[in-house]
Structure 1
């Protein structure tokens, strides 16, 4: 009688212990995958800026971060795939509003959020086989766990400094008179700029036609009409040299400017590679 009761109790105890241990393995795998998904989403989101390069960098950074993390109790590396990445312009978009990396690269404008879903990785990543629980009749042989993380950029740090190119030509050679007994030397000129030479930022015009200089609105979102105070000398002074402003995107939107640039009260903020102006230069 006692042996029968002990046998029944032992089966129950083993089943309970097996359930506790196997469930703990499931929870641990879930925690591992969630940490990896969080890290990948954050790494990718930092690169998003509404451009093709931003999406490409986001894809690469997510892969790099995941390659440095381990799972299965720190014994294995996740077999990563970009299929786990989805991009969207809104954090609350439905599933249909999230696109894969191929579609994101084709139309990157406005994509500021990334989602990582480990269910899109190899099924083995989320599979957890039961071990001790199998002593119980009809117990499941295993389970599947997944993790999902979402991260995004609501803004991008940019420096509100606009420089008009002197030429529309990306690059062209600039010939120089040949020294004795040598061939003609050529210097690379990019958009009208010669490397190593200083130039007057206050006298750069579109295609080199006429001098033009503007104050960039550093306080309003791109694509909106500027508020007058946001292009005043007092407001833009901290941005003139190396300040940054928050922008939801850096391409595909109109920039608000005011002309002319208030050079008289702001010339001291204009640094050059040689130092800081202590008095108003004669050429301003």
Structure 2
């Protein structure tokens, strides 16, 4: 097999927009071989779209990880890790692997919810996953939790959160501000321990963004695996997911999903990088 391999340790999404489905679609679109160890099975109430999260038994996760590590992934990415035990299993697996990169997407809440699935996961993530991360990709809510502060709302608050998160040990931090920061463009902020960079794209009037966070982190993982330098890897990932959002579609009355192959099939989106 000539393709490089990426393992995602993540949950399902029956709608196909997020979770391991988003990861594997994204890996494939970057000419990588993706595979998965499942942590949760997630369904949605058809009437309200509220999420129903079911944990995979630990012994089943252990068996999956045993198999996955035998396939020698070049990169490991994590998604939904629902409790401290699963975080510990993931941390152990990453340390045992020969993977060159670990992309940590600190999924704490389901789409449309600001309540952390399990408050104990924050402490475990800080202790067990941040110190071994190549890069961590939180949104604003996740960044606030990891940094031990309120959810950042301004560029200066995001920079403060990035510094606090960096102190736990990841090599790089990128905080997804998206359209929620108090600026005119969709802004994400990258920090390498010394310098801050803003990644800017146009805000979209109508955004189909279900799965955007998973897709972004999977694109970051893909770009690291394919040899891009860190800031360039994040820039390319932002362009990839911005195109996926722009060309997404309405799935039903509750959710609109990103189009994972839009960047290569439909068109790119311009992303500007500026020092902050």
Same fold (TM over 0.5): no
- Provide the TM-score with structure 1 as the length reference: 0.20
Choose between structure 1 and 2: higher strand proportion: 2
Based on CA coordinates, which of the two structures has the bigger radius of gyration?
A: 1
